[in-house]
Structure 1
Amino acid sequence: MSAILFNPCEPFQAYNRLEGRTREESLSSALSAKIHDPLWMLARQWQFGEFKGEDTGSAIEAKIAVKTQKLNYFKTNHPKGQWGKVNDKLPMEVTVEKLHQKLGIRSSYYLGKKLFRQIDLDLTGEPGYAKGVYVSSFIQKFCFQPPVLNSEDREDGEVLAKNAQIMARTQAYQYLKTLENKAMDAARILKASSQNPDFLNAFANTNPGGFIQASHLTKIKDAITKWKAKIIEEFNLPELDEDQSWIPEKMEYAFETASIKIQEEDQRTLQAESYFQGHLDWYSFDQIESNKAMILPDIPSDNTKRHVLTLIPSEASIAGMPVSRWWEMEDGKVDLGNMNASDTDLAKISITQYAMNYSNDWLAIPFDIEAGSLCEVEGIVVKDVFGFRTHVEAAHKQDGGNYLGWGMFGQSILNEEKEYLGMDQKVFIPDALAKTIESEPVEKIKMIRDEMANTVWGIEAIIPDMMGSGTSGADTANKVEQILENFLTQEEEIMEIASDDPSYLSQSDQNLQVRQYKPPLKYILANKVSENWIPFIPIHKPGQAINREIIFQRASMPRTVAGITPHAVRPQSDFLRVGIDEDNQQLDPYFIHEEEVPRAGVTLIGQYQLTRWYSGKRLVWYGARKITGKGEGSSGLRFDLLTDNK
């Protein structure tokens, strides 16, 4: 049994809340938080030392002096690249990213019809010319040619493999069969024009088999020149190899852009040594200090502009920023207080602390800057409500006037040896795109490390389907093998039918008796790897006998099909076909720097992109970007195998 003890004489305790009570029907007077004794408030502020604080008057006026300088020269990092004027009609991303891409069969067909229309337009009214008179002759010379597997090519496996690779793309092969001897292949015209601008001279009627009248030859050449220029402009193709910024050894873009003024000797050379993200912005550039002479196409003009603005600064705002006014509900879309961050999440902690403590301390002064310009804020003077003027200096400016600290939107200054010298005072606003529409990948290459085979593999996950889009590299590789095996099977059947004739065999073969014996085991020198796996083997850099640095060189797996001369398997994607001609013959080796393929691997994606520039013009180009891979992999390649002879 338990008992509860209590004191019956304990006094009764009551609590009352002190709060303002209004005697009016409206609550506006109570909620206004009026101060009825300002002298008491001032006295309390004096006691707590608040009068010793710094000036916190609100800014009511700001005067800013800004100098802008337009970039006017551009150069790719190609060994043969030359300085040229910046094309203001194109955003810099298009100028940098544009790559050569073979025309699809469908596009080649329609462009061929456009060429005929251009010829008719230029030759209409010329003596001896009738509309469409040269159509059949051009089709006969430059028609679509579907591949054919011939038994005569058994000794040349490269030719058989090349034709089989086209036939493995079923849709493209059917198009070629449909258009055979019926339409002109514009890709063949472009190739012939690039190899020899005067290729039409061979088709003049003054030569045997010629079909072009001598009086029409010049007009047709001009029509092809105009037609070719329209194609280059429509697809934004680089005319020459040195017009491409793509560096195959690094699998990245690299280029330089400069603004030069002879009058003030103020030169800025910005270099993007490693650009692969797919979006060009200020952080892609570094400023290079160099004393090398620059060969320019003309004398640069002074494109510097100075602006002085006077306006009322506005409060800068970000999502989730705390409001500074009373009784104002904050936006609940961003809840910084509910952000989970561990002790090692320094980025989260820093951003959260900045957003909650300092984000509403900033003022913004709007100023429109022309895209593709360098902007330098020469000075800012802010006037507050008390009439005091404050000169605002750059945040990363240190004692002595040096700019060694890091600054947002600024470029690092490097010398020719890539040593850090400080930060540039100017801010670069590249003429980059805000939004693009990207097609499905036309090419997709996965570069992975294979530690078991001590090599790097370039896996062609997606390869061009010759129609302007992409197809599976693994499926195409399997189809190529099936096409070659089926072709050889048919050839063997033909040989068996011929061998039924006793006269086909010699007397020694007729008397030859072969004892057939099947061993239980068989020796395999190396097993097969899918043809869309292209190896890159590690070798020592030339001239690096002491440091023994490693570089990856493209190699090839052998295609060993019974009945065909063994030959090398060549890649089908343009990214990996560097130095290989259309006949699958390697003209130059292809190397990739070791540091470009980390353990996580990388993925190269080639795709078409569509956007509209400020003029409203639609722009289409073919570009590449590189993303991080998904780790190591294994091809299953093995050597010296002893297996069951099934």
Structure 2
Amino acid sequence: MPPLTQLGAVMRADPTLLLDVFREPAVTAYNRLEARPRAHDFTRSLRAEVRDAMWLLTRQWQLGELEAQDAGSPIDARLVTRQLTPDRVSLGAGPAQPYDDATPLEATVERERVPFTHALRVQAAQYFLRLHSPALRAKYRPRYRAAFAFAQDAEADFRGQVDGLNLYLATRRLAFDGGRALDAIRAGTFAADVPVDGTDAGDIQGYVDAFVAWLDRQYTQPPPDAPPVWDVARLCYSLSIAAPAPEGVLRLDAPRYADGRLDWDAFQTADGGLPVPPSDGTPAPRAPTEEVLSFLPTTVTFKGMPNARFWEMEERLVNLGALDAQTTDQLMLVFAELGLVYGNDWYVVPYRLPVNTVCEVLGLVVTDVFGQRTLVRAANERPDQGWQRWSLFDLSAATTGPRRLFLPATLGATLESDPLERVQFLRDEMANMVWAVEDVIPDATGRGIDGHQAADRTGVEPTPVHDSPAAIRYLLGTTVPENWIPFLPARRDVGGQDIAFQRAAMPQMGTPPRDVVRAKGVLLTEPALPWFVNEEEIPFSGTIVTRSYQRARWYDGRTFVWIGRRRETGRGVGSSDLRFDQIEPVTR
């Protein structure tokens, strides 16, 4: 390199010298990082030897690892349990009846009579005809059409149902009513109504039996004389289940079941039994059985748990250390501390419990590596825990007596159809009332349709005035669409303070009014009048009740199909724009 003086002289002679690009040769190479061991034995490397043991002990003392407790690891657990088998159930306000786990408990509680829509009537008739031989089918098809014919002028029954009306018009002359045929079979008048020839009576009776069995096999339905389980005042199901116990009868109540999934947390212990009337078909009650089991406890493992071994790599699916918790996220901080600090303090005792069994834990004794035995008591058994008497999976908050675990014969998952019917109960504060809005109504085709589109909106908008010179007019009151059914606040007891919402009706528009507006679904027409809904059941957020088909496969392989109801939180308050005594400008 030239001296600086020479470099300065060169720059003065050529000022653009540093602006030129000088290309220098470069060699770019990529090498893979890989191990080059110098020995074939890695035993010493895997020891993780520490050269300064005193420094390691000092660090352990600073971090508090030398402050140990006399807490040995469990090596044996003895569990004493008593198993009770529920054998009777009471649905709603009905009497107790025998029960076993051959049917899922949800289907036993929720099932209701499947309505015979026009589509189901045609389907039942077609299936009944397919059971016949070709000769008998050709012979009795005209007789069935004559005996169980559809009404030929029932178009008004399908008002607002486009698909249902088209199905009715296409089948009213070609098919017969399978529902009426089934009613005649159950009434014992089928052979006389057709009529059936004496030579064909045996074959027809075989077809009739197969037809009735097909319908019972298709749907899970309650007996015809069964009382309703749905509580129309509280908008939920209620049931009680009981099991023989050493002290008499153990009764479990589920007074408020409405979310469509029945599990142990819906039940609570109650006083009193459920006597079942003796009959020839009532099975003998199963006596309680006690069981003593010995287990080897195993540590609890979960994703993201710190590993106990030194050289074991932790999985990266869950990183509890990366939780982004704020100072007010106490629950998240407790969860992280439980997983990272106390994760290795939990042990699992495996225990197999049959379905439809109430397990009473009579005692749990744990033996540790020091030979000490500890009687493990319930978390809420201490007498000073009165303000927080709660225990996971426990059916009662009592401080004495056995802890009970109920494993009901319920379903883990079901297939749910689109809503057959959905009613939204909402509060209208401006009108000081509650509206039951039929969002979805059942159709004659067997499915649900939009209730807003099917509703008659005649009269919702003011009628224009053409022959009056007046500039204003007096309006007695407005109206609402037909799918808005009113509920008025009322006192159920004379002189009482409790308010309930009573089902009312809106008049149909006309001069004079033709009739009252009637609901089109089952949810609003099933209860007998007067119908009161408790005030607390319809909060300011509202509530929604849905009817839909449920399909599930039980553990023995059988398939159950039934219609159930489900309740969920609404979407807030609403406004119907219902007004009275209005002065409005005349529209021409």
Asked if these proteins are the same fold (TM beyond 0.5), I'd say yes
Counterpart of 1:363 (choices 330, 338, 347) is 347
**1:204 partnered with 2:217:** no
Q: Secondary structure at the match of 1:378?
A: strand
Correspondence for 1:175: 167
Deviation track 1:225-265 (CA, whole Å, cap 9, x = no partner) reads 6634542342112223635421121111111111125xx34
Q: Residue type of the partner of 2:517?
A: V
Correspondence for 1:510: none
Correspondence for 2:489: 538
Aligned mates of 1:369, 1:439 — CA distance in 2: 32
Aligned mates of 2:395, 2:164 — CA distance in 1: 48
Aligned mates of 2:240, 2:274 — CA distance in 1: 14
Quote the offset at 1:199 in angstroms: 5.5
Deviation track 1:284-304 (CA, whole Å, cap 9, x = no partner) reads 001101278664654742343
Counterpart of 1:275 (choices 257, 264, 284) is 257
Deviation track 1:84-114 (CA, whole Å, cap 9, x = no partner) reads 1114221111111212331333332222233
Question: Residues 316 and 364 of structure 1 are in contact (CA less than 8 Å); yes or no, is this contact kept in structure 2?
Answer: yes
Quote the offset at 1:532 in angstroms: 0.9
Decide whether aligned partners of structure 1 residues 403 and 316 sit closer, same or farther in structure 2, where only a CA change above 3 A counts.
Answer: farther
Decide whether aligned partners of structure 1 residues 638 and 241 sit closer, same or farther in structure 2, where only a CA change above 3 A counts.
Answer: farther
Q: Secondary structure at the match of 1:134?
A: helix
Superposed counterparts of 1:130-169, under 5 Å: 130=136, 133-145=139-151, 147-148=153-154, 163=156, 166-169=158-161
Decide whether aligned partners of structure 1 residues 291 and 370 sit closer, same or farther in structure 2, where only a CA change above 3 A counts.
Answer: closer
Question: Residues 87 and 285 of structure 2 are in contact (CA less than 8 Å); yes or no, is this contact kept in structure 1?
Answer: no
Quote the offset at 1:528 in angstroms: 2.2
Q: Secondary structure at the match of 1:110?
A: helix
**1:249 partnered with 2:233:** yes
Counterpart of 2:517 (choices 569, 577, 581) is 569
Question: Residues 404 and 423 of structure 1 are in contact (CA less than 8 Å); yes or no, is this contact kept in structure 2?
Answer: no
Decide whether aligned partners of structure 1 residues 467 and 273 sit closer, same or farther in structure 2, where only a CA change above 3 A counts.
Answer: same
Correspondence for 2:526: 578
Aligned mates of 2:384, 2:581 — CA distance in 1: 70
Quote the offset at 1:117 in angstroms: 5.1
**1:90 partnered with 2:106:** no
Quote the offset at 1:334 in angstroms: 3.2
Question: Residues 396 and 403 of structure 1 are in contact (CA less than 8 Å); yes or no, is this contact kept in structure 2?
Answer: no
Q: Secondary structure at the match of 1:576?
A: helix
Quote the offset at 1:382 in angstroms: 2.9
Counterpart of 1:450 (choices 428, 432, 436) is 428
Identity %: 30
Q: Secondary structure at the match of 2:560?
A: strand
Decide whether aligned partners of structure 1 residues 614 and 529 sit closer, same or farther in structure 2, where only a CA change above 3 A counts.
Answer: same
Question: Residues 147 and 166 of structure 1 are in contact (CA less than 8 Å); yes or no, is this contact kept in structure 2?
Answer: no
**1:553 partnered with 2:502:** yes
**1:592 partnered with 2:541:** no
Superposed counterparts of 1:401-420, under 5 Å: 405-412=389-396
Quote the offset at 1:24 in angstroms: 6.7
Quote the offset at 1:318 in angstroms: 3.2
Correspondence for 1:630: 571
TM superposition score normalised by structure 2? 0.81
Correspondence for 1:11: none
Superposed counterparts of 1:225-624, under 5 Å: 227-240=211-224, 242=226, 244-261=228-245, 264-290=246-272, 295=277, 298=282, 300-342=284-326, 345-398=329-382, 405-412=389-396, 425-478=403-456, 481=458, 517-543=468-494, 545-546=495-496, 548-561=497-510, 565-579=513-527, 588-624=529-565
Quote the offset at 1:639 in angstroms: 0.9
Decide whether aligned partners of structure 1 residues 26 and 629 sit closer, same or farther in structure 2, where only a CA change above 3 A counts.
Answer: farther
Deviation track 1:367-396 (CA, whole Å, cap 9, x = no partner) reads 221111101233333333344443333333
Quote the offset at 1:49 in angstroms: 10
Aligned mates of 1:220, 1:481 — CA distance in 2: 50
Deviation track 1:319-349 (CA, whole Å, cap 9, x = no partner) reads 4433333343434333434444455545434
Aligned mates of 1:522, 1:192 — CA distance in 2: 58
Aligned mates of 1:285, 1:467 — CA distance in 2: 38
Question: Residues 485 and 504 of structure 2 are in contact (CA less than 8 Å); yes or no, is this contact kept in structure 1?
Answer: yes
Aligned mates of 1:133, 1:423 — CA distance in 2: 71
Q: Secondary structure at the match of 1:113?
A: helix
Aligned mates of 2:400, 2:576 — CA distance in 1: 47
Deviation track 1:177-230 (CA, whole Å, cap 9, x = no partner) reads 11112212223344566xxx43617x627xxxx724578779867865663454
Deviation track 1:526-582 (CA, whole Å, cap 9, x = no partner) reads 112111111111000134x14x110001111111135x7521111112111124xxx
Question: Residues 244 and 288 of structure 2 are in contact (CA less than 8 Å); yes or no, is this contact kept in structure 1?
Answer: no
Aligned mates of 1:42, 1:85 — CA distance in 2: 69
Question: Residues 250 and 273 of structure 2 are in contact (CA less than 8 Å); yes or no, is this contact kept in structure 1?
Answer: no
Deviation track 1:440-473 (CA, whole Å, cap 9, x = no partner) reads 1111111111100001111111111121211100
Question: Residues 254 and 267 of structure 2 are in contact (CA less than 8 Å); yes or no, is this contact kept in structure 1?
Answer: yes
Aligned mates of 1:33, 1:460 — CA distance in 2: 72
Question: Residues 360 and 402 of structure 2 are in contact (CA less than 8 Å); yes or no, is this contact kept in structure 1?
Answer: no
Decide whether aligned partners of structure 1 residues 226 and 476 sit closer, same or farther in structure 2, where only a CA change above 3 A counts.
Answer: same
Q: Residue type of the partner of 2:474?
A: Y
Name stretches of at least 5 consecutive residues in structure 1 with no aligned partner: 1-21, 150-162, 414-419, 483-514, 580-586
Aligned mates of 2:430, 2:167 — CA distance in 1: 43
Q: Residue type of the partner of 2:216?
A: I
Q: Secondary structure at the match of 1:575?
A: helix
Q: Residue type of the partner of 2:525?
A: R
Correspondence for 1:66: 81
* Total equivalences in the alignment: 543
Question: Residues 77 and 367 of structure 2 are in contact (CA less than 8 Å); yes or no, is this contact kept in structure 1?
Answer: yes
Superposed counterparts of 1:29-40, under 5 Å: 29-33=44-48
Aligned mates of 1:640, 1:341 — CA distance in 2: 57
Quote the offset at 1:312 in angstroms: 2.2
Correspondence for 2:27: none
Q: Residue type of the partner of 1:64?
A: L
Aligned mates of 1:75, 1:223 — CA distance in 2: 36
